[in-house]
Amino acid sequence: MKISWGKGLALAYAGFVILVLTMVGITITKDVDLVTPNYYDKEIKYQEEIDKINNTLRLKDQVKFDLSVTAFMVSFPALSASSVIKGEVNFYRPSDSKKDFKVPIETDKEFKQVFDVSKIEKGLWKVKVNWNMDGIEYLSNNAFVKQ
């Protein structure tokens, strides 16, 4: 059976319409997460983050990050024995913002803090440490992959 050029054109057009509608349906049902819900507000305050990063880079000793199977350790530089470190550690899950969480900084006498990561999901995690010591703001970033 031979198909006329009119019917062939109609079939090609119908196939194209079905393809486009399928793609629209897929993209509508896809969940798209921004890194943070208030992305635009954070973009305006980005200069403050740059200043904090520059303060961190001026330190003689940098923040150190260590990962083991069950723990993630952050070691802060000790400027003086009387220094008090305040701030928070943000754990970001790039693939699912619902799994993000924050932990306040509570260091031991050696300026270290250990986080239990045995219960978090496997995959990529980004860590942002926003901290204050002796009245100066600092910011340190790291990422790790939990196996």
Cβ neighbour number for residue 92 with a 10 Å cutoff = 20
Return the closest-CA partner of residue 31 out of 100, 97, 99.
Answer: 97
Instruction: For residues 67 and 111, state if they share a domain.
Output: yes
Q: What is the pLDDT of residues 85-119, one digit of tens each?
A: 899 999 988 888 888 889 999 888 888 889 888 88
Q: What is the pLDDT of residues 8-67, one digit of tens each?
A: 999 999 999 999 999 999 988 887 665 666 777 777 788 888 999 999 899 888 889 988
Residue span of the structural domain in which 51 resides: 39-146
CATH of the domain at 97: 2.60.40.10
For residue 130, what pLDDT is reported? 92
Instruction: For residues 137 and 79, state if they share a domain.
Output: yes
